[in-house]
Structures are given as structure tokens and as C-alpha cells.
Amino acid sequence: MALQLSSEQADGQTGNYWRIFNLEYCIDGATNIVVYLYKDSTARAADKSHMSRHKYSFSAPDFSVADLEANYLLAYAYTKLKAHDDFTGATDV
């Protein structure tokens, strides 16, 4: 699960493969996600270093333990990212 969206970084490099690196769901409903940008999916698959790191926070609905075990939170996090202005036009990959 990842997002594809081309993004030029401050140093002029362009990447297009966004993957959640860390996802933290707090009891109070706050959710923090750290997303890494890679040059492309091939670079990610080859364990190349990420190009940049971005952190986002949002409120999430209550999830049951079964929801968390079924990775619903991960899917929800990607849905929230796609709704963020930074990810307008992103597609699931």
C-alpha cells in the first residue's frame, strides 16, 4: 500500500512513491503519520534511502482491536492523506 504522486523537492530531485513509515494511533483519537518519499517504487523495493520525510496529524474515529488488526487504520490513514492538499491527485499503488 502506497501513494503515487510526483513531487519536486527543494534540492530539485523528483520522487513519486509515498509510503507510510510510521503510524501512531493514540487513545484520544489523535493519529500521527510519518510518510517517506522515494524516487519510485523500484528504489523503495531496493531499500534505497528515502528522499524526504513528512509528518501529518489528524483525528481518527474510534477503532476496535479487530479494526487495528485488520489494518483498517492504515487504509484510513492513506485515505486521509489523499484528502490532504499535499496529495491532491495521488493514486493508490
pLDDT in tens, 47-82: 999 999 999 998 877 667 677 777 788 888 898 899
Does residue 7 form part of some domain?
yes
Instruction: Print the domain residue range for 43.
Output: 3-86
Does residue 11 form part of some domain?
yes
Does residue 92 form part of some domain?
no
Q: How many domains does the chain divide into?
A: 1
Flag whether pLDDT at 87 surpasses 90. yes
**Backbone φ, ψ for residue 56 (5° rounding):** -130, 150
Does residue 93 form part of some domain?
no
Flag whether pLDDT at 15 surpasses 90. yes
What is the percentage of the chain residues whose pLDDT exceeds 90?
Answer: 67
Structure confidence at residue 31 as a pLDDT band (50, 70, 90): confident
Helix and strand numbers (H, E) in the chain are 3, 5
- Cβ proximity of 35 and 22 under 8 Å: no
Beta-bridge partners for 55: 34
Distances, alpha carbon 31 to alpha carbons 26, 49, 63, 73, 78, in Å: 6, 25, 11, 9, 12
Mean pLDDT over all residues of the chain? Answer: 90
What is the mean pLDDT of the segment spanning 18-43?
A: 91
